Each structure stands twice: as C-alpha cells, then as structure tokens.
Amino acid sequence: MKNHPEVFERTLNGYMKYSERLRIYQNWLYGTCRQIVFFQHRENYESLLELDSNFLYSTALGQFNIFKRRHKDGIDIDPILSIGHTNDSKISSLKRRDNMIAGCRLSGTVFTFDDENEYNEEFVRDSCDPLLDLDFVGDFFVTVSRSETVFHKLSSELGMQIFDFSKNLNIGFQSIAINPSCEKILGAKSDSLHIIEPVKTLVTNSFLHRSQIYNTKWLNNNTFVFTSYSNPLSLIDTRIDFKRQEFSCGNFTATSVDYDGNNGIIYGTLLGMMVLCDLRMPRTFERVFHLDTPAICRNIKSDERHLYVSTDNAIHLLNFDY
C-alpha cells in the first residue's frame, strides 16, 4: 500500500482567537448550529466514529474510511482512504489514542492504522467467538468476546505489527475500557460492571445495575460514567467501593456519550436528541439538541467546532462554527 503522508498532517487549532472560541462556545450554549446529513442508506447499520482536528474516521459495516474535515461544510464526502468492503466482516469496535486508530472485526481480526506503519490487520481470535470490543494504551491491547478477555502486546517484526498473546481471563464482556494510567480495565456486560487489574489479572470489583448498560467512559484514573436504559447518566468513583452519583439530566434513555476532558458531558438518546450537561450540576442540563430527522443516536463524537452523530441510517453533523 502506498504511503499517504498528507493524511496525517495534523495541525492543532492552537491559534484560534479568543473571540472565535467564545463565539463557538456561545453557539454551543444557545443551541445555534447548522445540520448536515451524510451517507444516508436504507440498510440499518451503525457507523462507528472517531475524530481528530483534521479527519473523521468512520466504519460502514466492514469498511474503514478516512474523510478530510472542512471548516464550514463538515467533510469531503470522497474518502482520502478507504480500506475493505461493506460486505467484509463487520467492524465491531473503533478506538483512537494519540496517533493510532485501532479496531476489531467480528471475524476475530484486529487492525491498526497510524502515520508510520500504515494499515495492519492480524487474526487474533477464533471467529466462532466473535470479537465485540477492544481498547489499548500504548502497546498494551485488550480484546473481548462473549466468553473471554485477552491481553495482547503489540510489537514489530520485520516491519510488520504483531499482536503477541499475553494473558487471558475466562470472563467475557460486551465492551471494554482502559483507564488513562493502564492500571484498571472496565468491563461491561448486560446489567453488570467489572473492574480488572491487568497486573494481577484479577477481577477486583463488580457492580450490578438494574437495567441494560449501553456505554462506559473513563473521566480520569478512578472515575467513570455509564449510560443505561433506566437512567441517562451515572458516575462511579472506584476508590469508594463503587460510590454512585446519578445525573437526572432530562427523562431520556442515553445510548452514546462523549466527554470534553473538563466538566462537560454530552450524550445521545433513543429519540434523536443530544443533551449537554455539566458534571458539577448533576440535576440540570445546559442544552438539548434535536436531529432534524429523529433517529437513535448510536455513536457520538464532538469537539469545539462540530458534533458528529451516527444513526442507523446516516451520519449527522451539527456545525457550531459557521
């Protein structure tokens, strides 16, 4: 595969004027935005999303795509790079950390994509036990299926990226998330949450919830939030025996969540709404945004300019900088 250096010319928007940042923030606060819809399709499937300052990364069943972001109009609809086909094994997870994108397929393969090693895909699990999710920090990778959790070490051999088997646990999860310090792993399945210490390879804590858990996200090394069917947002402090705080930001069912790294949380709902709330005020919310075409918000990614939402039939852009 040819190298595509222009894909990775990532320049952070560090020189934006203060007045511009303030204007965009006010647009967020008062719900002033323009909506654009991309890639509408009849077949129901979820597009997984990742985002950086210059590019939108997305999946379409078995296909991995990279789109150039535009300042006003969202993205160029022709992908810079497209790998795979929609009829390939479905991509079940897509994660970005630093300059690397990683994903897994139900067939049992894991792929990575970065500016040095390009695209690499390797079979790591028997396809009879489909891969449901992955996460990674540096060269430490975790993959999960319904029956087991496997730790991998990413190494290089003859210029190729290799996933070396490390350890495995005979417990499966629907989703997995590693905290920033790589000291704790959060696994979720059905109505329960589990904390794993990778060094000891032990499940150290567990928490039983009263309904289906949809999403989990670490806020820092000790605290995470999760969304569920019965309550939009709950915060758990793992230092205090799973001390829980509920956020009653509207009577919604949250299906997706994103975090601004400070105090802001935005989540998508079953009814096609995005709710922006402040972690310091658990009983209030700042703003509710409605999709022009109501649909379930399956995946959500945002930054100071744009909010991207995938539904079962399209990708929606809410542009706050126009």
Token pair 């929609």 in the structure block, residue: 86
The residues spanned by each domain of the chain are: 47-302
Whole-angstrom CA distances from 288 to 62, 83, 166, 188 are 33, 36, 45, 27
What CA–CA distance (Å, rounded) separates 15 from 167?
Answer: 45
Residue 47 contacts residue 56 (beta carbons within 8 Å): no
What is the Cα 66 distance to its own chain's centre?
Answer: 16
CATH superfamily, with its number, for domain 47-302: YVTN repeat-like/Quinoprotein amine dehydrogenase (2.130.10.10)
**188, exposed or middle or buried, with CB in 10 Å at 0-12, 13-18, 19+?**
buried
What CA–CA distance (Å, rounded) separates 242 from 294?
Answer: 35
Q: Which two tokens stand for residue 256?
A: 């997706």
pLDDT one digit per residue (tens) for the chain, 322 residues? 333 333 333 334 444 566 666 677 777 777 777 888 888 888 888 899 999 888 999 999 999 999 999 877 788 889 998 998 988 999 999 999 888 899 999 999 999 988 776 888 888 877 678 999 999 998 899 999 998 899 988 887 766 677 777 778 888 899 999 998 888 999 998 888 888 888 776 676 677 767 788 889 999 998 898 888 777 788 888 887 767 777 766 677 888 888 887 778 888 888 888 888 888 876 766 677 888 777 889 999 988 778 899 999 999 988 877 6
H-helix or E-strand spanning residue 284: none
